[in-house]
Structure 1
């Protein structure tokens, strides 16, 4: 049986749909999870979809993905710009890491132009809103099923 595809979401993403919808849209995190699950139907891959406002919990889940995942998609949110600890955890993975952002950080404030997570990512999907997660699932499937 194929291993799971992990989708981890960082701080404040639990507020999708209500927090700054002009930037992040009106789609909720539950909607995104449902779309990811639908995209994985028939592939044999399970979906592990989680969100935390706590850096340590995200790191624990990254460690879990080392054993139980075949790919990891992460929207680190604000931690992408600040967390060397997330980078270190991601660098310990032997599975593909895909960084995903709803907005395009390069078109926003200067402090958002740098991401520590990018240093460990196979690729980055940004600026496509909620659809970016489905693109990331497709990329994960391509990287794992054709490896």
Structure 2
């Protein structure tokens, strides 16, 4: 059984409430239940933090024992050299995901410190981005 973790960054705890026209009206906890029901052959863990250092600590914690990390670093994608370096330093492959198409938004969102160190990037498919990332590890 594959062991994956979804790591969500800042403000993603507000999914379902925050800008539903961009992020939808479903909470991540409700969506996670759907993912676990769909992928019964995968052990899916979940972690969310609004704190950059806590995300780095989680990557260090799982980065040598899990089969994959699905990371939506939120705004830290565009600012955190530290998270990018943490991904470079671990063995577990990371897929970067975004709910929105970051290239269709403000220009500062076009830069990612995650992408150069990620196995792949999935963006712009809403919550389906997470499912596509899981499929990249199990197919």
With normalisation by structure 2, the TM-score equals: 0.94
User: Cα RMSD between the aligned structures?
Assistant: 1.2
How far apart are the structure 2 equivalents of 1:99 and 1:32?
A: 18
Alignment-derived partner of residue 47 in structure 2: 50
**Structure 2: gaps of 5 or more residues:** none
1:106 to 90, 103, 107: 103
Pairs within 5 Å for 1:1-147: 2=1, 4-41=3-40, 43=41, 45-142=42-139
Matched positions, count: 139
The TM-score with structure 1 as length reference comes to 0.90
The Cα of 1:68 is off from its aligned counterpart by 2.4
**Deviation >6 Å, runs of 4+:** none
The answer to whether the Cα contact below 8 Å between 2:64 and 2:90 also exists between their aligned partners in 1 is no
Q: Does 29-38 or 129-138 show the bigger shift?
A: 29-38
Unaligned runs of 5+ in 1: 143-147
